[in-house]
């Protein structure tokens, strides 16, 4: 099964390749696009190479890996990513180069990946966003994800206290399932009025 290529009207979603290092660097170096991500923006191509070898390439060695490069069909060059962790949270994440924002690209990519997850029997996904980044939450809502609760966490390696909103989408029909682990692990947690 290992990361099947997906196609949408405008996009190709595929594995990252070693030949994508320049594109990986462009995605992860932008300070504004990476403000609300746990890692620091990349400063060199060497960092991009290490990220590919230590993180992306290793993911593809696993039996199931949903680490997609989001590419425009016209040139098949990555401009963003969609990934899903295979831990019990099935954490859903995405990012996009700033110049491609506001065109529905990441929503289109995420919808395709969610379709594949359903097909593969993944029961649910969760996603979190910093309360200071409501645009990410808007993507989650467009995807049909439902707000469950908020919680505080010390985010490393940036070492900042962040309040996250946790969203969930159940893919297997179990409407009432809620992933409570973040709530249980945080001493500060609450449900906000939406």
CA separation for the pair 110, 11 (Å, rounded): 11
CA atoms within 13 A on the CB side of 22: 2
Cis peptide bond upstream of 44, omega within 30: no
Mean pLDDT of 61-77: 90
State both tokens at 117. 């997850």
Over 90: is that where the pLDDT of 130 sits?
yes
88-105 pLDDT tens trace: 999 999 999 999 999 999
107-118 pLDDT tens trace: 999 999 999 999
CATH node for 6-190: 3.40.630.30
Residue 192 DSSP symbol = -
What global pTM score does this model have? 0.93
């Amino acid at each position: 099964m290992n990361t099947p290529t997906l196609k949408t009207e405008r996009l190709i979603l595929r594995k990252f390749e070693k030949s994508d290092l320049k594109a990986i660097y462009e995605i992860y170096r932008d300070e504004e696009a990476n403000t609300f991500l746990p890692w620091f923006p990349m400063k060199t191509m060497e960092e991009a190479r290490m990220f590919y070898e230590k993180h992306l390439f290793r993911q593809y060695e696993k039996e199931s890996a949903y680490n997609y490069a989001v590419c425009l069909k016209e040139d098949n060059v990555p401009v963003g990513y969609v990934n899903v962790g295979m831990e019990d949270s099935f954490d859903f994440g995405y990012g996009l180069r700033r110049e491609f924002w506001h065109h529905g690209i990441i929503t289109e990519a995420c919808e395709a990946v969610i379709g594949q997850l359903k097909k593969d029997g993944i029961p649910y996904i969760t996603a979190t966003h910093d309360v200071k980044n409501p645009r990410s939450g808007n993507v989650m809502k467009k995807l049909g994800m439902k707000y469950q609760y908020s919680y505080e966490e010390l985010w490393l390696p940036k070492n900042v206290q962040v309040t996250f909103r946790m969203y969930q989408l159940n893919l297997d029909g179990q409407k009432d399932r809620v992933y409570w682990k973040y709530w249980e692990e945080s001493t500060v947690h609450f449900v906000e009025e939406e």
